[in-house]
Amino acid sequence: MSELQIAWLELITVGGPGVILALSGVIINIVTKRQSKLCTKQTEAVVVQYGFLGQGRMYPIVEYFVDGTCYKTKKKFRGVKTKRISGFPVHVSSEAYEDEKGWLNVKIGPIANFRQLAEQLWPVESKMTVYYNPNNPKMCYVDRPISESFTSIMFILMGLVIIILSVLVFFLIQL
């Protein structure tokens, strides 16, 4: 194989996944924005339970009714910011809150009870607003749309970094 063929092979095999990552992030953003635009009706939902994913990631699960049919969904956040504080004899109380930009902020000490934090934030039987698509009530969001999630931003950034590095290596191989 010539150096030019090797350079092209590298560009395709390394840059290709970068393009796929970046496009995936863009598609996630487009789908999320489309969902937000289609969710024009609102109804009241009730917190029925919680979900815990670990690392401070938690969310309320709500139940809502549209035309007599019961639906369940979870509240989504733009991302989770976890702050761990440890060390003895420092007594640190755990706390969690959602900021105005849609981030869930969780501060935890050496011992954290996430169920208790969730119950303080979203008591069972408390009310939340669900915005849903009248043509497809399963398509919904709780309280506010999340336009740009941390996940989609990371997909786009990592894809762009891989593409740039791939192009740089492409030109370096040819030198």
> For the chain, which residues make up each domain, given as ranges?
1-38+147-175, 40-144
Give CA angle at 139 (125, 29), nearest 5°.
115
How much of the chain exceeds pLDDT 90, in percent?
43
Question: What pTM did the predictor assign?
Answer: 0.70
Rounded to 5 degrees, what are φ and ψ at 80? -125, 130
User: To 10 degrees, what angle do helices 150-174 and 3-38 make?
Assistant: 160
CB 41 within 8 A of CB 134: yes
CA distances from 133 to 41, 64, 136 (A): 6, 13, 5
103 or 126, which is more confident: 126
What end-to-end distance do the CA atoms of the chain give, in Å?
16
Mean pLDDT of 147-161: 85
Residue 1: pLDDT band (50, 70, 90) is confident
Write down the pLDDT at residue 175: 77
**pLDDT band (50, 70, 90) for residue 92:** low
> How many residues are listed for the chain in this entry?
175
> Cβ(25)–Cβ(31) under 8 Å?
no
| Four-point Cα dihedral 36, 42, 43, 49, nearest 10 | 20
146 or 120, higher pLDDT: 120
